[in-house]
Structure 1
Amino acid sequence: MVDFPVSQDSLPSSLFFLTHLLLLLQSGELYSEVSVVGPGDSILAHIGDEVEFLCHLSSYRDAEDMEIRWFRSQASDVVHLYQEGQELYDQQMKQFQNRTELVKDDITDGSVTLHLYSVIPADEGPYGCRFLSSDFSGEATWELEVVGLGSDPHISLEGFKEGGIQLRCSSSGWYPMPLAQWRDHHGRCLPPETEDIIQDAQSLFSLETSVVIQGGTQSNVTCSIQNPLLGQKKEFAVQIADVFLPRTSPWKRAFLGTLVGLLLLLALLLKLVLYIFQKQRRSQEKLKKQAEKDKGKLRAELGKLQVELDWRRAEGQAEHSILASHFAGVDIPVSNITSPQTMLNE
């Protein structure tokens, strides 16, 4: 066995060299194995709530001097940006302005958390975070799913329809599109008569659905509205007494048949009366026209008679004037006065 002499002066420098070499080797291994870890494959957030995006390096490493970027489907769609020890808010998408907060208490250990406040349906979709330095680049991606439970269903009575009672159920503020269902007290599904779903400017859904129920077991009815992502639902039940539900019976059918027959008979009578009235009216108009015609003829005859009468009157006056002039100045005794007829005869 050969012993190599080791000097006391060379021992510290040898230890320093070995330590430095070991650190370099460990650093090389760490750099090759470091990755970015995100919050998971998907995150579920309720509308109006706060959501956290935690990102960290798989091995402890100071990230204070790195660029850390949260983004949407691509890196240029900036949700939040940390660069050179500062947060660059002017790079944010307008949608996320004044809605994010970066917590960097553990940034020296390679861990940071981004808070997103007041979640809205438009926030739904892919996200990612990226760590970038001169000697490292890595990122993680995930999906944000947004859900919203709407208002409690409200059932209103619309009135009688098709031999039953029409009920309407309404609710708003759902996301994504909800599922509605009517059931009786046995849990059996009732087919809806109508169903209208509307999405507003905030991408929230409002729903209205109606059903017509008959008497009997269906008088107890439940309106159920469910969120398909959460599997949660809201229900409202209503019970209507049978006394309010129209019933069918033999005497009712007979009454309806009789009523229909009477209505038909009344229609025939009205038609007959109308025909007689029109016939009488036409007859009256005809008589009126005939009377006007006869009246015209009568006026013409009267006119002729008046002309003849005027002519005779004028002729009589002329004869009187001739007689008066003939006997003018003749003194005729009263005893000898005879009638004009006698005089004329003479």
Structure 2
Amino acid sequence: MNRLCIRSSLRTISVLVVHLLIHVCEGQSQLIGSVQPIVARVGDDIMFPCHLEPAMDVAAKTLEWTRPDLNNIFVHVWRSGQELVKTKHPLYTGRTSLFTDELKHGNMSLKLSGVKLSDKGTYKCFIPDLRTQSTVEVVVASDAAAPPVISFSGVDESSNGVVLHCESKGWYPEPEVLWLDGEGNVLSAGPTETVRGPDDLYIVSSRVTVNKRHGHRFTCRVQQNIINQTRETHIDVPDDFFKVQSRCSATTVGLAVSLVVCIMLILLLLLLLWKKKIISKTNQMNEVESKDQKDDNAETEFLTEDSQKETEQLEEEIRDTNNQLQEENQKEEGAEKELEEEIKDTNNQLQEENQKEEGAEKEVKTLKNSLESACFIQ
């Protein structure tokens, strides 16, 4: 009994081992793609590598190429020894193909013709029967990348440096911008500004401030390491240009200092003039006061001698003046009365004339009425 149990156990174990070996052998078949991204340029024809290891004939199997990053759209489908065109996404119509002669060796690499910017992304190689897959990353570069253009952007007064501006268009993927001095050392520059245009291409720009100590030759380098693409432009800044900037700054400082000194001198001069004017006014007031005191003393002496005579003369003059004023007032009153009488006479005459004119007007009206009535009767 024990021997029978041992034999049955060994048979069970052997069967399990055989199934395990078969499963392991089947599981060893796997698709191998590309670890590194596939770099392509617009318009190129490229191949997405994918092969089965260990190699086996896959010509009769279902093979699928899809885009996981675009909701798994079908790029190319092979089934029953032919391509299923109807399942292919319109973006790839007429642009994909397999190497049919290589399918028997397990090679299901895909060829893509006429690469576009929209072809960038992730592609999956898949065999449903074997439940194995592989992915390939595709990077599309643009040939439209233009050499950078360097221009003078201004002056940095704080550092007495010249500001250079660099711009380059038509990049994909997004590049980086570097500034180099004449010896190839990387300069510290501001952040790179990136703008993406309607054609999905990038426009990059950067600014850097350089001084005479950096040399005279500077390089703006725009590079994209993934696609191994570089564009650069050099510029030579003349030594006189830095001198002009330094002269301008020195002149500005000198003018500022001179202006401050002039203002201080003017204020000092005004203060001295003000003090001098105050002193002169004080002396004049003292002289006037002394003169007034002398005049007062002289007048008092003069008045003591002739005060009585002058007082009598003044009284007589005042009396004569009053008499003259009274006579003139009387004459004016008589003239006013005469004027009033003349005005009254004139008014009376005017009234009489008005009355005569009114009577004449009445007579004219009566005559006119009589004439009109006579004409009416006739």
Task: Report the identity percentage.
Answer: 24
For residue 316 of structure 1, what is the amino acid of its counterpart?
T
| CA distance in 1: counterparts of 2:350 and 2:53, whole angstroms | 156
Match of 2:173 in 1: 176
Match of 2:325 in 1: none
Match of 1:37 in 2: 31
- 1:36–1:55 Cα contact (<8 Å) kept: no
Matched, 1:316 2:346: yes
Alignment of 1:1-346 (within 5 A): 32=26, 35-48=29-42, 49-58=44-53, 61-73=56-68, 76-120=72-116, 122-132=118-128, 136-146=129-139, 148=141, 150-162=145-157, 163-193=160-190, 195-201=192-198, 203-230=200-227, 233-245=230-242, 246-248=245-247, 253-258=253-258, 315-316=345-346, 318=348
Aligned partner of residue 64 in structure 1, secondary structure: coil
CA 1:155–1:251 in 2, change beyond 3 Å: closer, same or farther? closer
| CA distance in 2: counterparts of 1:189 and 1:64, whole angstroms | 55
Match of 2:16 in 1: none
Aligned partner of residue 86 in structure 2, secondary structure: helix
- 2:33–2:51 Cα contact (<8 Å) kept: no
CA 1:250–1:52 in 2, change beyond 3 Å: closer, same or farther? closer
| CA distance in 2: counterparts of 1:219 and 1:310, whole angstroms | 110
Say which is worse superposed, 137-146 or 243-252, in terms of deviation. 243-252
Aligned partner of residue 346 in structure 2, secondary structure: helix
For residue 218 of structure 2, what is the amino acid of its counterpart?
V
**Which one has a larger percent strand, Structure 1 or Structure 2?**
1
**Which one has a larger percent helix, Structure 1 or Structure 2?**
2
| CA distance in 2: counterparts of 1:244 and 1:173, whole angstroms | 32
| CA distance in 2: counterparts of 1:95 and 1:242, whole angstroms | 57
CA 1:247–1:311 in 2, change beyond 3 Å: closer, same or farther? farther
Scaled by the length of structure 2, the TM-score of the pair is: 0.54
After superposition, give the CA deviation of every residue in 1:19-73 in whole Å (9 maximum; x if it has no partner). xxxxxxxxx8997377243333233213313321233343554433221111233
- 2:162–2:210 Cα contact (<8 Å) kept: yes
For residue 224 of structure 1, what is the amino acid of its counterpart?
R
Report the alpha carbon displacement of residue 191 of structure 1 after superposing the two structures with TM.
Answer: 3.0
| CA distance in 1: counterparts of 2:32 and 2:342, whole angstroms | 136
- 1:197–1:205 Cα contact (<8 Å) kept: yes
For residue 44 of structure 1, what is the amino acid of its counterpart?
I
Aligned partner of residue 111 in structure 1, secondary structure: coil
- 1:36–1:130 Cα contact (<8 Å) kept: no
- Which structure 2 residue ranges, 5 or more long, are not aligned? 1-21, 267-338, 353-378
- 1:184–1:221 Cα contact (<8 Å) kept: yes
Aligned partner of residue 244 in structure 1, secondary structure: helix
| CA distance in 1: counterparts of 2:82 and 2:344, whole angstroms | 136
Report the alpha carbon displacement of residue 160 of structure 1 after superposing the two structures with TM.
Answer: 4.1
Say which is worse superposed, 225-234 or 168-177, in terms of deviation. 225-234
For residue 115 of structure 1, what is the amino acid of its counterpart?
K
Aligned partner of residue 37 in structure 2, secondary structure: strand
| CA distance in 1: counterparts of 2:122 and 2:251, whole angstroms | 67
After superposition, give the CA deviation of every residue in 1:109-160 in whole Å (9 maximum; x if it has no partner). 443431123445554443322235xxx5243313314153633211122344
Report the alpha carbon displacement of residue 260 of structure 1 after superposing the two structures with TM.
Answer: 6.9
Paired positions, count: 250
| CA distance in 2: counterparts of 1:56 and 1:255, whole angstroms | 78
CA 1:310–1:166 in 2, change beyond 3 Å: closer, same or farther? farther
Scaled by the length of structure 1, the TM-score of the pair is: 0.58
| CA distance in 2: counterparts of 1:316 and 1:39, whole angstroms | 138
| CA distance in 1: counterparts of 2:116 and 2:110, whole angstroms | 16
- 1:220–1:240 Cα contact (<8 Å) kept: yes
CA 1:319–1:40 in 2, change beyond 3 Å: closer, same or farther? closer
Aligned partner of residue 246 in structure 2, secondary structure: coil
For residue 144 of structure 1, what is the amino acid of its counterpart?
E
For residue 253 of structure 2, what is the amino acid of its counterpart?
R
- Which structure 1 residue ranges, 5 or more long, are not aligned? 1-27, 267-308, 323-346
Report the alpha carbon displacement of residue 170 of structure 1 after superposing the two structures with TM.
Answer: 0.8
Q: For the pair shown, which has the larger CA radius of gyration, 1 or 2? A: 2
